[in-house]
Structure 1
Amino acid sequence: MTKQPNILYIMSDDHSAEAISCYGSRLSSVFRTPNLDRLAEEGVRMNSFFSTNSICTPARASIMTGQYGHINGVRTLSDSWRPDRGPNLARELQSHGYETALFGKWHLHCEPEGFDDYSYLTGFGGQGSYQNPEFQSKGQPVRCHEGYVTDLITDMTVHWLEQRSSGKPFFLMCHHKAPHDFWEYADRHEALFDGIHIPAPDSLFEDRSHRSEASRDYGSSVTPRSNVRSLYEDFCAPDYVTGPLQGTEEMTFEQKGMAAYQKYLKDYLRTVAAIDDSIGRLLDCLEALGELDDTIIVYTSDQGMFLGEHDYQDKRWSYEESLRAPLIIRYPRSIPAQSVCDELMANIDMAPTLLDYAGLPIPATMQGTTQRAVIESRSDVPVRTSVYFRYWMHLAHRHDNPAHYGIRTRQYKLIFYYGLPLDASGAIDRPTPPGWELYDLTSDPYELNNVYGDPAYADVTHRLKEELHQLKQHYRDTDDPYPELVLRAQGK
């Protein structure tokens, strides 16, 4: 019988693929991630891995269940996962002989279920703190641990690996808090960007007149923390966590925006540097234990992150930098080294894929599909032609970004914004403008030209709307409770 592989699943929070040097973004000229690059060099870099809901808690629930939020019950940051209901990746592996553990950020508002051991961050709504964070360990009271959070999570993960003696294959989740805001870095990275200017994206001060009414006017007046320039006031506070931004009083509005961008990126990338250090430690540990090549190592994030693109920070929109997450997988037993895969994959595919690698049955209630053959660069295998996504946060925060759903194919992205903040009874509380946006990602990879309504794209638009409707039926997300939403989608 073939030995079941170990699985080390490493996930950060809000880590943009743009901030990993092997992805080759504008940032790779000033920032390197050698240990993450090593994973890609020895495995596969997935270029088109997407979160189906670009916000932390729902994304994490989809990874654990292989289901969309409207099925697993986790659509917003406020929803709690019920791991005893429906599929649970950890429980599936545990019940089939895997030793299971979790260390770091959990953020599903429930006790982890299906894990033999765990210590997860508490406080700040499940975010935890960067310095001297508190952890809830299995069967223990909450306890403060002295040190920097990324290093502590790595310490716990390494210690568990070194102390285990069961002989079983393991499923180990190492979940970093970084690089979630606000970006407190380790002291050792203080001087990392001294004298360095971080390249800015061309869309830092985007003219949004091409957008639909539904998205173009959402800025500082509606979602105060969505813009890079809105960080300026946070950064100027005398008690800001990494020190205040100074010497900007006489600057123009645009100059202040650029100064905020430089501080944002430097602090953010410093927190990523500690994650890269962690990857190196974990690789060294597995190698010393003789487990490296018998372990599937996954590195990903719960979703992407805007690093100034479209004048945004945070996530919550479904433009590429937010919807796309990094995904790197090393497993030399079956994944060719130096592989690059452009095929579509969704986070609901993660649980089925890992179960496939473990040689275990995939529950019929999982909506994702295994992508093992695609990851392994096999030819003549079915591939995803599209990813359906949906953002639900209007249900929890009425002043959040507008609610929307859409479809992402290899070449196009179609987004329907409908807003419709709802009260507890499901009634419309504060209608917002509906609108469609269509992007041709081949000619416009940075989504700066909304071509919805362009006659040249009429056939494409019709075809994508038909496919979007089919996907909503397939995934049982039909909007039957929201008749006005359906009318808006039909243009009535």
Structure 2
Amino acid sequence: MKRYVIIFFLYVFSVAYSQNKKPNIVIIISDDHAYQAISAYNKNHRYIDTPNIDRLAEGGMIFHKSYVNNSICGPSRASLLTGKMSHKNGYKDNENSSYNSNQQQFVNLLQENGYQTAWIGKYHLGYDPKGFDFYKILIGQGYYYNPDFIEKGKGKIREEGYVANLVEDAAEKWLDERDAEKPFCLVIGHKNTHRTWMPDLQDIGAFDKAKFSIPETFYDDYRSRKAAALQEMSIAKDMRMGYDLKMLGDDFRVDNNFKRMNEEQLKAFENYYKPIQKKLEKSKLKGEKLAEWKYKRYMNDYLSTAVSLDRNIGRTLDYLEKNGLAENTIVIYTSDQGFYLGEHGWFDKRWMYEESYRTPLLIKYPKIVPAKSSSNSFVMNIDIAPTLLELADVKIPRDIQGVSMLPILKNPNAETQNELYYHYYENGEHAVSPHFGVNNKRYKLIRYYKRVENWELFDLEKDPQEMDNIFDAPKYQEVKKEMMKLLKKEIQEYEDFDALNVLFEDQEFKKYSK
């Protein structure tokens, strides 16, 4: 009898322990992966099938209105780690900023509450990560083939193979070797789908038979948008034939991406791309035909890198399931920002326009998140930190600017914010002017400065592609006034004094804020 009583109490204890056990966390963050290139977001018009990312949508929640506060890789990662806007965490751009890894980050707070933490893959915030028991990070942007890593306790090492596979191998190795008695937080940073879009050997030419239709806005003339007209991210005029599209002639090793390849890797690329270049040279394409050829080649390579990304995400999910971790692990998939797949004739990111500003976000956590759920509520990348802290039962510091998404995870129709604020600072590459702005569900207001000094206003209901700047349209003057008030309110709440100074010097703002 006594034996059965003991067994009963052990059972009750184990059930109570499992119910109160802190969740594990896996964040998978890719680079430049557009929501347009995820089949869960494009069920009616798919560029690509991404069955493994789609598993997260099947088992959890897909967010259709997820945005970043600064659409560029390093600043976006800094905001994810700190839960703060760029002007608060100090990492505004990739050109002049340096990240202070000693500052408060959600991973440090998890560590203080018993979590093991690791970052593996692309980090892009320097070479001295803090808050991680283990790290193995790519140097800078990293290379697709035979990349260099900096590993904690070992320094710089080079590994042979394809970057997405190597990152996943290292992530699984860390999971194998961790202390199984403690909860963990693992960030897996993939280089894919970043420029220069080099596929894994098994995926070269994966989309040769695909028929890519030219985006409706491909030949945008930017008539009412001065900053857009001055950019240098056009597929037609700015995408490089050699560097981007691998039209490198007889000697591929003139390019640094190919210098580090072994003979098998190099031969596979030469055998595929050289015949394409010869065919192009014979065709003597010019003008729109050449621009459209470049677009289709870009799409072929870009999506091929997304195939290996998705495959390795599948490996992560399989690992969690096979090792009994799936039920108690929060899995988040996101990108550091959105990306242009020919919309407005562009590649790259940076803008507050939808394709760049909006980012994929899928969250699976069976204990809380309903399977196959979908949310149109506004969320931002700065909201991830407070959400994870709340789920881990860790007190959220008052200076974190993000808002926990937990109410939305429990009920996809819940709303935690009605407007969003954005600020892009970089004033160099691709000639995109610094700008800040605000949007609600109906309108978006943007103020450009430094390179270009002007305003844009869009009616997102009537003009979802953001082609028509209505800032000076007579019938929108009252809307303009209300959006300027909203912009000022957001700037003051986030304490963005750089933006406030621009605003207070602006004659248009002075006129409408009286």
What's the TM-score, normalizing by structure 2?
A: 0.87
Superposed CA deviations along residues 264-318 of structure 1, whole A, max 9, x for unmatched, are 1110000010011011111111111100111000000011111111111011111
Which residue number in structure 2 is paired with residue 329 of structure 1?
363
1:277-296 to 2 correspondences below 5 Å: 277-296=311-330
Cα RMSD of the aligned pairs, angstroms, is 2.0
Aligned to 1:445: 464
1:17 match: 35
Deviation of the 1:217 alpha carbon: 2.5
1:50 maps to 2:58? no
CA contact (8 A) 2:443 2:460 kept: yes
Contact 2:377 2:415 in 1 (8 A): no
AA paired with 1:294?
Answer: N
Cα distance between partner residues in 2 of 1:228 and 1:441: 27
- The whole-number CA distance in structure 1 between the counterparts of 2:43 and 2:481 is 33
Please name the residue that 2:109 is paired with: 92
SS at match of 1:393: coil
> What 5-or-longer segments of structure 2 have no aligned partner?
1-16, 259-268
Pair 1:237 & 2:271 matched: no
Shift of 1:398: 7.7
Give the corresponding residue for 1:152: 166
User: Cα 1:138–1:398, aligned 2, differ >3 Å: closer, same or farther?
Assistant: closer
| CA distance in 1 between partners of 2:362 and 2:78 (Å) | 20
Matched letter for residue 199 of structure 2: Y
CA radius of gyration, larger in? 2
The partner residue of 2:290 within 256, 281, 284 is 256
Report the alpha carbon displacement of residue 375 of structure 1 after superposing the two structures with TM.
2.4
Unaligned runs of 5+ in 1: 421-431
The offset of 1:200, in angstroms, is: 2.3
- Distance in 2 between residues matched to 1:323 and 1:483, nearest whole Å: 22
Paired residue secondary structure (2:403): coil
Note the alpha carbon deviations across 1:206-263, whole angstroms, 9 max, x for none: 121132x3x14213xxx3x444542153334323765365334522310111000001
Q: What is the distance in 1 between the residues matched to 2:504 and 2:290?
A: 40
Which segment is superposed worse, 474-483 or 344-353? 474-483
Shift of 1:481: 8.6
Change (3 A) 1:3 1:196: same
Corresponding residue SS for 1:467 = helix
CA contact (8 A) 1:413 1:439 kept: yes
Is the CA contact (8 Å cut-off) linking 2:142 and 2:148 kept in structure 1? yes
Instruction: Report if aligned partners of 1:261, 1:308 keep a CA contact under 8 Å in 2.
Output: yes
Counterpart in the other structure of 2:143: 129
User: Cα distance 1:330–1:441, how it changes in 2: closer, same or farther (>3 A)?
Assistant: same
Closer, same or farther: CA 278–483 of 1 in aligned 2, 3 Å: closer
- Give 3-state SS (helix, strand or coil) of 2:331's partner: strand
- On the 8 A contact 2:235/2:295 being kept in 1, the answer is no
Do the aligned partners of residues 137 and 276 (structure 1) sit closer, same or farther apart at CA in structure 2, a change above 3 Å counting?
Answer: same
Give the Cα separation in 1 of the matches to 2:422 and 2:386: 18
Per the alignment, residue 36 of structure 1 pairs with 53
Q: Partner amino acid for 1:40?
A: A
Deviation, structure 1 residue 487 = 2.6
Q: Which amino acid aligns with 1:53?
A: N
Match of 2:229? Answer: 217
Q: Distance between the aligned counterparts of 1:161 and 1:480, measured in 2?
A: 43
CA contact (8 A) 1:229 1:256 kept: no
SS in structure 1 opposite 2:422? strand
- What do the CA deviations read for 1:89-135 (whole angstroms, capped 9, x no partner)? 1101111111111100010014111111110001xxx1110000011
Structure 1 residues 399, 326: CA separation in 2 closer, same or farther (over 3 Å shift)? closer
Residues 333, 484 of structure 1: alpha-carbon distance in 2 compared, 3 angstrom cutoff: closer
How does 1:378-457 map onto structure 2 within 5 Å? 381-394=414-427, 397=428, 400-418=431-449, 420=450, 432-457=451-476
Q: Retained in 2: the 8 A contact 1:61–1:69?
A: yes
2:122 to 94, 102, 105: 105
Cα separation, 2, equivalents of 1:484 and 1:118 = 41
Query: 1-side partners of 2:424 and 2:499: how far apart?
Result: 17
1:193-208 correspondence to structure 2 within 5 Å? 193-208=207-222
Identical counterparts, % of pairs: 37
Give the equivalent residue in structure 2 for 1:176: 190
Render the CA deviation track for 1:18-44: whole Å, top value 9, x for unaligned: 00011017761x410001111101100
Distance between the aligned counterparts of 1:67 and 1:316, measured in 2? 18
Aligned residue number for residue 425 of structure 1: none
Q: Structure 1 residues 382, 255: closer, same or farther in 2, change over 3 A?
A: closer
Aligned length: 466
1:26 and 1:400 map into 2 onto residues whose CA distance is 34
Compared CA separation, residues 443 and 149, structure 1 to 2 (3 A): same
Which residue matches 1:427? none
Residue 267 (1) aligns with residue 301 (2): yes
**What code does the residue aligned with 1:164 have?**
R
Distance, in Å, in 1 between the alignment partners of 2:67 and 2:476 is 24
Partner of 1:141: 155
Aligned match of 1:465:
484
Look up the SS of the partner of 1:314 in the other structure: coil
Alpha-carbon distance change, 480 to 344 in structure 1, aligned in 2, over 3 angstroms: closer
Q: 1:31 to 1:398 in 2, by over 3 A?
A: closer
Alignment partner, residue 307 of structure 1 = 341
Query: CA 1:484–1:38 in structure 2 vs 1: closer, same or farther (change >3 Å)?
Result: closer
* Matched residue SS, 2:25: strand
Residue type at the aligned position of 2:218: L
Quote how far apart the aligned CAs of 1:467 are: 0.5
Name the CA shift for 1:134/1:27 in 2 (closer, same or farther; >3 Å).
farther
Bigger fraction of residues in helix? 2
* Counterpart-to-counterpart distance in 1, 2:116 and 2:394: 15
Confirm whether residue 476 of structure 1 aligns to residue 476 of structure 2: no
**Residue number in structure 1 paired with 2:89:** 72
- Runs of 4+ aligned structure 1 residues displaced above 4 Å come to 480-485
| 1-structure distance, mates of 2:83, 2:151 | 26
CA distance in 1, matches of 2:297, 2:415: 44
Q: CA deviation at 1:171?
A: 0.3
What code does the residue aligned with 2:422 have?
Answer: F
